[in-house]
Amino acid sequence: MINYHQHIKYLLTACLLGCVFLLACENDVNDVKAFGKKLPGIDEGKNIESYLSQNGKIGAKLTAPLLLRYQGDSARKTEFPNSLFVEFYDDSMKVESRLSAK
């Protein structure tokens, strides 16, 4: 049978652990506000490098500092708001032409 002192000891230990668990969590108010401001359905990519191929051959290399991909119900679109650079290759993988947009 548990005596009175052991019962108090278990109770104090439980209270102490409960306080530790409650005080261990910390949220920064600015982080919480920033999380709520992100728009749903937008994928963001930075320093994008993508290869486009046709019939198993690389046809172009696309590079961009920022990519925004919107995935809404009505319209899906991809934007490169800062700039875009594409190199098009011929069959022997030599640069055939270049495209840059700002």
Query: What distance in Å separates the CA atoms of residue 46 and residue 83, rounded to the nearest whole number?
Result: 12
Alpha-carbon distance values, 48 to 38, 40, 97 (Å): 20, 21, 20
**DSSP alpha helices (H): ranges in the chain?**
4-24, 29-37
Show the tokens assigned to 80.
């490169």
- The domain locations on the chain are 4-101
State the pLDDT confidence band at 77, using cuts at 50, 70 and 90: confident
pLDDT in tens, 81-90: 999 999 999 9
- Asked if 79 and 70 touch (Cβ cutoff 8 Å), the reply is yes
Query: What distance in Å separates the CA atoms of residue 75 and residue 46, rounded to the nearest whole number?
Result: 22
pLDDT in tens, 46-66: 999 999 998 888 999 999 999
